[in-house]
Amino acid sequence: MFDLIAGREKHLPSHAGFPIFLSTSAQVVVVGSILIIPMLFVAERLPEIPTMMAFVAAPPEPPPPPPPPAPVKAKQAQPKPEAVASRNQFIAPLEEPARISELPDDEELGPGIPGGVEGGIAGGVVGGVVGGLPEAPPPPPPPPPAPTAPVRIGGQIKQPELLRRVEPEYPALAVKAHIQGIVILEATVGEDGAVREVKLLRSANPLIDREAELALRQWRYSPLVLNGIRVPFILTVTLSFSLQVGK
């Protein structure tokens, strides 16, 4: 103790260096084993990388060759004029025949056909008529046109001309009673232009209504023609009854 305080040097024995070397070596071995052994286990657990194999596909087969073009048909030889002429039996001969053969007798033709007539031609139509068929009868006349309903005057249908007009009489009783007004009537005119029916649409007074209807029934119109046909028509007539001042 006193030596340490006084600072006196103390020399270690020379044989102490070998144990230090052994200790250091052992520590290095231990530390190395601690680091290397885990790495070995990790290396054993690593998956093996499979060897890459390359597959080369076979090249595709070449497309089949296009079909050969269809053979061109040879133009058919036109028949000779002689062949065509031989098929047609109704061509007039070019040369005059030496003689004309006579018709065979009835005995050579054989029995007749049932239903034939005397003097008929062989090969004719069964049930034929001597002298041909009669002429067809003429067609029947067309039916008369159906009666047409009366058409109303107006629009494109103009009123026919009034040929005869009869003025209504003013009743004396209506004049004394100072009855006046406008009467509206509807007239149905036939195909001949005569008034057939009268219908009262607006009344002023029974006294003058009756006189207006009697006068209208005597009127006469020219016929109304549509598409060449006379048709009845309907029109409206207005008659006014008024008293003059001073009467």
Establish if 170 belongs to a structural domain: yes
For residue 188, is it within any domain? Answer: yes
Report the half-sphere exposure of 166 (CA within 13 A, side-chain side): 14
Question: Running along the chain, 247 residues long, what does each successive block of 10 average in pLDDT?
Answer: 48 60 82 76 58 60 80 62 51 70 56 61 58 74 74 90 94 91 96 94 94 95 91 94 71
In-domain check, residue 172: yes
pLDDT reported for residue 2: 44
Report if residue 195 sits inside a domain.
yes
Determine the pLDDT at residue 244.
74
Query: So what's the pLDDT on residue 113?
Result: 61
- Look up the CATH number of the domain holding residue 200: 3.30.2420.10
Domain extent, residue 211, equals 151-241
The count of structural domains within the chain is 1
Give a yes or no: residue 71 inside a domain: no
